[in-house]
Structure 1
Amino acid sequence: MRAIKGLVLFLGVLLLAGLGVLGYGLYSKAPGKGTPSAALGRAAAAPVAEFGQLAVPIPAGSRVEQMMVAGERVVLRMTGGGPERIVVLDPNSGKVAGGFVLTPEPAVR
């Protein structure tokens, strides 16, 4: 009976140690781990070249519906004044990198 109690105690300690190792592994792999000041230091180290004011051609009556950053590009989604457009800007060079005009597909009968 004493051997069974010892075995149960040993397995309980082993289980707790395993859960501790699992918790530490999950914590060390968690995103966002690290100090915010270190992330700011890395972001501040990248030089940004000024490019002045950029004129982005858009059709009359259009408006910017959405703007987002994708990698090192700025993407604008414009609606109104014709078909919907997506314009991709390169902030490093200050130029329009490209664009898409979204046109509806003809209906299939």
Structure 2
Amino acid sequence: MVKRLPYTLMVFQKIESVYNPEDGSWSGGSEEWVNVSKCRDEGNGGGRSIMTEDSEVYVFNAVIYLPKNCPKVAMGEKIKVIDAEGNTRIEGNNKLHKKEQLHSRLWL
């Protein structure tokens, strides 16, 4: 049986450390990959392009299809798609994220 969304979208989150002026200490920051949603990716073999939110024309590497209820991924966020065995299929920075009528799409 073919799965509609067989892969996992991961977003790299970096939390900056915070300075506490009362005692002069820093609370630790963190860096980690966070599981955001199930997904399916499709490479751009035809050299198609998109117009980003700042009106820049961009030839994308891949489009990632997500469920409609997927949380918004900010422009420039570092993302990767992981298969069932834990292998990275594609990695890059988000260029555009659109919520459509039946699904969401994200371009790398």
More helix by share: 1
Could you say whether these structures have the same fold, taking a TM-score greater than 0.5 normalized by the shorter chain as the test?
no
More strand by share: 2
Greater relative contact order (Cα < 8 A, sep 6+):
2
The structure that has the greater radius of gyration is 1
TM-score by length of 2: 0.25
